Amino acid sequence: MTRARRFFSCLGDDVRLASMLLIHAEKELCVCELVEALNENQSKISRHLGQLRNCGLVKDRRQGQWVFYSLHPELPDWAIKILEQSSVAEARSLKVMTQRLGSMRNRPERATVDA
Amino acid sequence: MTRARRFFSCLGDDVRLASMLLIHAEKELCVCELVEALNENQSKISRHLGQLRNCGLVKDRRQGQWVFYSLHPELPDWAIKILEQSSVAEARSLKVMTQRLGSMRNRPERATVDA
DNA sequence: ACTGTATATACGCATAACCACATATATACA
DNA sequence: TGTATATATGTGGTTATGCGTATATACAGT
């Protein structure tokens, strides 16, 4: 009863939950984008992302001055499904955050790794 | 971002997660059954069940000397689905606990409320 | 080399979470 | 009423968690 419990502990914090849901929705986000979308200070965001990384929920890649976070490729299927359900539950606030993201100026460009 | 987060906080503890999954699987369990299945002391189980009740995840009903816990009837759909996925993730330990339940002696009889 | 931007992390502190143990309450039954 | 079983909860102590602030590191552009 420890895999799932660890997963839930990670999601049991507003910043981490919101980060996970946004990353899930947007595929990949850098710290400064999350800072903007969640409207929280950088140190807080970084710290929580670090935790998510340590727990194996996300992976990071550096590109220039930015560090981009995405869901860890080996996240089990049940974990993904739980994120999907959580997105349903939090659709409202997720929308607000996505809008803040959309109206953000100077978003870093990705080195289009994907297709 | 608070409904889901509260839910996850509740599941972010071994005793509470295991209790929720077992209750979900068995429909209704009393404290002493959970004590046996989880192999934990009564005080610990009771306290965590109290928390789950306060958070609206379970409801309780007294029958004689026993108090039976079941999932709260108004648990939203997404919450149920998350419990289902968690049961997949924790199938192994869930099985162990279910077996301990099965071999328990003197299990209290339910006043068959259902059908 | 210097400056600015992005990110990570160390530190000290405040509070929350959890536990074991003891005790209180509720019910059943003699 | 007295005893046994089941459950809930108060108390004190320990550990874990989260935060803000300050600082360190990494990279980009000059």
pLDDT digits (tens, 9 = 90+) for A13-53: 999 999 999 999 999 999 999 999 999 999 999 999 999 99
Q: Please check whether the domain covering B3-100 is classified as CATH 1.10.10.10.
A: yes
> Which percentage of chain A shows pLDDT scores above 70?
97
Q: Residue B65 is which amino acid?
A: Q
Residue whose entry in the numeric block shows the structure tokens 């100026």:
A105
Nearest alpha carbon to residue A59 among A101, A103, A29, A36: A29
Helix, coil or strand: residue A33: helix
Tokens read off for A12:
């049991």
Chain A residues with beta carbon closer than 8 angstroms to that of B9: 8, 12
Tokens standing for residue B24: 């979900």
A and B: number of Cβ contacts within 8 A = 75
Distance CA A87, CA A102 (A): 18
Q: Which residues of B touch A52 (CB under 8 A)?
A: none
Q: Which range (A66-70, B50-54, B110-114) has the least confidence?
A: B110-114
What ipTM was reported for this prediction?
Answer: 0.94
Whether the predicted pLDDT of B16 surpasses 60: yes
Residue A115 in this model has a pLDDT that exceeds 60: no
Of the CATH numbers 1.10.10.10, 1.10.357.10, 3.10.20.30, 3.30.450.40, which one belongs to the domain with range A3-102?
1.10.10.10
Ordered by start, the domain boundaries in chain B are 3-100
Interchain CB distance below 8 Å, A1 and B79: no
